[in-house]
Amino acid sequence: MFEKTRLGNGVRVVTAPMPQIGSVSCFVTLAAGSRYETPESKGIAHFAEHMFFKGTERRPTARTISTEIDAIGGEFNAFTGKELTGYYVKCGSETRDTALDVLSDMLLHSRFDPTEIEKEKGVILEEMNVYLDTPQRYVGNVYDRLLYADQPLGWDILGTKETIEATTRETFTSYLNAWYRPERIVVGVGGRIGEGLSERLEELLGGIEPGPTGTPLPVELPSDTSPVMLHTKASEQAHLILGVRGYPIGHPNRYALQLLAVVLGGGMSSRLFTEVREKRGLAYYVHAAHSAYTDAGSFYSGAGVDVDRVDEAITTILGELRKIAAEPVPANELEKARGYAKGRFVLRLESPQGTIQYGLRREVLEDEIEEPDELLARLDDVTVEDVQRVARDLFEDKRLHLALVGPFDDPARFEKLLAA
């Protein structure tokens, strides 16, 4: 499904041809994100994403850029994570070259006008306020701070009020010069790709000079801190994440881990949904997942629960984690989880955007792409014994971590629950 080539300067190009589709999704993705920041530049990866849309030498304003994309009926946006950043345009296949030209112009020739930087600082600060006022989302930031403390993986992607207000044009140029290099750039094009793609990309991006790039510091896992972190906020619902340290992205247990997450918290028939919400009425939402980086990871459950029954919700989730480690998953339940995981993956690949994003993430973070048929076969190979082995490895005698947003100010109360 995927084809990989390189431009003369080392920029990788991943394509996913889908000739039966009338559209094309064009991505430029980079192995650069908030993990690559310094204490003084917290938030610059995300701030730069905003500024790329504010005007270039040829397209001097945000309106100029958006008008050109509107004129081809396209959709464009960007995203910033801890370890990767991406920019994309989706459009009709006949306007592919326009999309690629706009993307490359934004990345190579953005103006970073000081006046626009000052205006955008207010936008970023308001975005921070949105997260603070959305506890279901903000609890993830609290959990990251709990797991990784004062290092890049523990910092908020948006940065801090102080670092955003101190940002200058030089902050952007210094960051981009260090990380936006050919070795870290992967272009992805999925859908009806058309002719002459390599030549067009060479023309647009082949002039980026290779150069030295930085290396992110390895993560250090703090162990002498409280396993509980509270963000005290007056509310009628508590939002929690309860988890353990897990595996990095490329770990061989990833397939058993994926099915373990489905059994526990994937879908409305999962164990946590059934026990926490349906049987006990403790939560509006509850789920389980594994979050992985190149050298660290965490398996966790998230839930939004009644503040008066938060203790019961925590002990119920703990009970399900311990049960799945102690007792093998019945074969029919594993088959249901396998069908769920495979079906969701196949649905994701129905669109050019979903397909190329899958390939890009694997290429950027792992330097290789596992073909979909290979992934599905690996899921088929997972046994009941594999799932229990991974559950035991994760949950038996392991340190639990709890992040909680709600009207609470006594960590010791929850430390006792985790130790019980």
> Which of the residues 49, 68, 120, 333 is marked catalytic?
49
Angle value at C-alpha 123, between 118 and 125, nearest 5 degrees:
95
Distance, in Å, from the CA atom of 62 to the CA atom of 86, rounded to the nearest integer, reads 18
Contact 322, 264 (CB under 8 A): no
Contact 287, 272 (CB under 8 A): yes
Beta strands in 38-112 (DSSP E): 75-80, 85-92
Instruction: Report in angstroms the alpha-carbon separations of 29 from 17, 26, 134, 354, 402.
Output: 18, 10, 28, 14, 33
Instruction: Report in angstroms the alpha-carbon separations of 198 from 12, 102, 108, 356.
Output: 11, 17, 18, 17
Task: Find, among 274, 247, 249, 257, the residue nearest to 391 by Cα.
Answer: 257
Active site residue 49: yes
Distance, in Å, from the CA atom of 192 to the CA atom of 26, rounded to the nearest integer, reads 11
314: Cα separation from own chain's centroid:
25
Distance, in Å, from the CA atom of 225 to the CA atom of 207, rounded to the nearest integer, reads 48
Distance, in Å, from the CA atom of 129 to the CA atom of 131, rounded to the nearest integer, reads 5
Distance, in Å, from the CA atom of 177 to the CA atom of 163, rounded to the nearest integer, reads 19
Task: Find, among 291, 371, 342, 293, the residue nearest to 14 by Cα.
Answer: 371
25, two tokens: 């999704």
CA torsion through residues 317, 295, 405, 420, sign = positive
112 phi-psi bin (left φ>0, alpha ψ -120 to 50, beta other): left
Distance, in Å, from the CA atom of 414 to the CA atom of 409, rounded to the nearest integer, reads 10
Task: Provide CB contacts within 8 A for 316, sequence distance 6+.
Answer: 275, 276, 280, 282
Q: Which residues are catalytic?
A: 49
